[in-house]
Amino acid sequence: MRFPVLALAAFCGLTSVAAAQQAADAVAPEAASARAKAEARPVLAQDWMVVAAHPLASRAGADVLAAGGTAADAMVAVQAVLGLVEPQSSGLGGGAFLLWHDGETGAITTLDGRETAPLAATPRLFQDSAGAPLAFFEAVVGGRSVGTPGTPALMADAHRRWGRSDWALLLDPAIRLAEAGFAVSPRLATLVAGDAERLALHPDTAAYFLPGGKPLAEGDTLHNPAYAATLRVLATQGADGFYTGPVADSIVTAVQGAADNPGVLDKVDLAIYRVKEREAVCAPYRVWQVCGMGPPSSGALAVGQILGLLQGHDLTALGPDNPESWRLIGDASRLAFADRGRYVADTDFVPVPVQGMLDPSYLQGRAALLLGDDALPEVSPGTPAFDHTLLWADGPTLEQPATTHISIVDSYGNVLSMTSTIENAFGSRVMAGGFLLNNELTDFSFRSHDGGVPIANRVEPGKRPRSSMAPTIVYRDGAPVLAIGSPGGSSIIGYVTQALIAHLDWGLDVQQAVGMGHALNRFGVYDLEEGTSAEALAAPLQAMGYEVKIGPQTSGLHAIAIGADGLQGGADPRREGLALGN
């Protein structure tokens, strides 16, 4: 039920200033949303909502939803625009994981659109001739790190399953922006300037991001006719137009022809690419079920383990300002990361103890390690129920802090949570068809063995690299109450877990939860976000025995809370995204 805004304001007894503000907000939702974000208030809506990393992407999604499209339709429009205006984070050349709560059936489906190692890849892909691991950026920049992209197939698959709108029309906003030009955002300009040396290494990439040899500046109008042409092929031919034919040819030429560091991706890899439906990984947490993406992502397993390890502790009573809360969260996270490093990889290639890692009795045993007062002196993987005649060596991987997250609720009650990536900022720095190609293969372990023992996440042909992406939907009594996720490489797990605890245990609204200063611990060092209240934890955590590092923590948490009173959206204040709803 909708009321004219001024009539509603008068009915609610609002002052004339407030009424005028509401009227202005109704005609300028982007400005209203930006103001809400600046004032740490959630955006409110009744029917639908989209939260994405750039106002133009949120707008594309909002227009689809307003016209009666589903969350899957809106995602297609949002992703196509993000690949243009936030090209450093995600796009057609990357991969993604998608969670779908179906408003009609109540079922959750998870889709794996992860990039895949070419058939010609070997476990020595990232080793030198003596078998030593390459330096990270030696591996990243060029064709070697490029896996078969999954995002175009995922967009098409989600649309085929759940879309109601015309596929080609959904790509229109991105095509129009690519042809008419869009303003380079402050974040894109800063990242281009900071990466100019690497972007200069590949001619197409240099021509696009460093026109005339100079980095794009904030506010420059950027056109991308090549991207528009690729989207037109997708519009008329569907995903096949990407995975075969001239677009596929140009990807293979760019990868194999990358100067200094060519890759082995071939036409057959593109032709055989498939989205995989995986079983959702759901973990109980107090009165909630926290559901997410299983392997090859470690996201839901790690988030579920951390929450499971904290079940026995009253975090609400302890509160967010108490260092004891952070000792528990930090060491629970270290324990989960130890298991992740040893056990989690692509289940199509290695058995992963998914059930065992979330088994309440296993977690109870691990949680006993948290009963002291100080930081755990050391942490090692546990022994979840599993065939332990299979030996895995530890293979921790970092995953870099690029990526993007999209949360959408539509007017049919569907909920979508999708994290999308090209891995490092600007991926492999190789471009084809107007988009950047991923460097996702560097999410594999560079070493294949340790002391003769194989590493689960080693490179193998056709395998998908382990991820930390954690698109999440939280349920209470069978109904979805929250969609959330973040970019941030291996920090994603900490960002999402903290926001969940902030919202569920500490009662923060979604905007406060995504904006809260970060404190996270993956591998022993406690990372505290500079310039935030998290810095105050430094001294008490050091007194407990933690090494502490203060620095930026550029999460990009995008959340929608779903309640009896409607929808509340939160967009991470560290990035440029907006929540738009109606």
Instruction: Give the binding site for ligand GLY (CB under 6 A).
Output: 399, 403, 421, 423, 443, 467-469, 489, 492
Kindly state the smallest distance separating residue 469's Cβ from ligand GLY, in Å: 5
Burial 118-130 (b: 16+ CB within 10 A, else e): beebebebbbeee
Cis amide leading into 296 (omega within 30) = yes
Assign residue 260 a region (left: φ > 0; alpha: ψ between -120 and 50; beta: otherwise): left
By C-alpha distance, which of 296, 253, 38 is closest to 146?
A: 253
CA pair distance 514, 502, nearest whole angstrom: 8
In angstroms, give the least distance from the CB of 241 to ligand GLY: 26
- What three-state secondary structure class fits 52? strand
For the sheet with 415-421, list strands across it: 276-278, 108-113, 95-101, 415-421, 404-409, 49-52, 578-581
What is the C-alpha separation between 494 and 502, in angstroms, rounded? 12
- At 228, list the tokens: 């528009």
Give the Cα separation of 568 and 564 in Å (integer).
Answer: 11
- The residue among 99 and 171 lying less far from ligand GLY, judged by its C-beta, is 99
d(CA 200, CA 332): 42
Find all residues with CB under 8 Å of 5, minimum gap 6, and list them.
19, 22, 23, 25, 26
CB of residue 302 to ligand GLY, shortest distance in Å: 11
Q: Give the whole-angstrom CA distance, residue 549 versus residue 553.
A: 11
Q: Please say which residue, 350 or 492, places its beta carbon nearer to ligand GLY.
A: 492
Q: How far apart are CA 231 and CA 10, in angstroms?
A: 46
Mark whether 497 is an active-site residue.
no
Find the catalytic residue in 110, 403, 404, 472. 403
Structure tokens at 186: 């402050």
Q: What minimum distance in Å lies between the beta carbon of 158 and ligand GLY?
A: 19
Give the nearer residue to ligand GLY in terms of CB position, either 134 or 168: 134
Whichever of 95 and 569 has its CB closer to ligand GLY, that residue is 95
Shortest gap between Cβ of 297 and ligand GLY (angstroms)? 7
Nearer to ligand GLY, 45 or 281 (CB): 281
Q: Which residue is nearest to ligand GLY (CB)?
A: 467
Specify the residue, 299 or 515, whose C-beta has the smaller distance to ligand GLY.
Answer: 299
Q: Collapse the DSSP code of 49 into the 3-class scheme (helix H, G, I; strand E, B; otherwise coil) and give the result.
A: strand
First to last CA, the chain: 11
Cα(508)–Cα(321) distance, integer angstroms: 13
Q: How far apart are CA 359 and CA 247, in angstroms?
A: 45
What is the nearest approach in angstroms of ligand GLY to the Cβ of residue 441?
10
Task: Find the shortest distance in angstroms from Cβ 47 to ligand GLY.
Answer: 32
For the CB of residue 422, give the shortest distance to ligand GLY in the complex, in Å. 8
Closer residue to ligand GLY in complex, CB, 69/488 = 488
Single-letter residue type at 567: L
| Phi, psi for 563 (deg, rounded to 5) | -135, 180
Task: Give 492 or 502: the residue with its C-beta nearer to ligand GLY.
Answer: 492
Q: Contact 569/43 with Cβ under 8 angstroms?
A: yes
Which active-site residues does the annotation give? 403
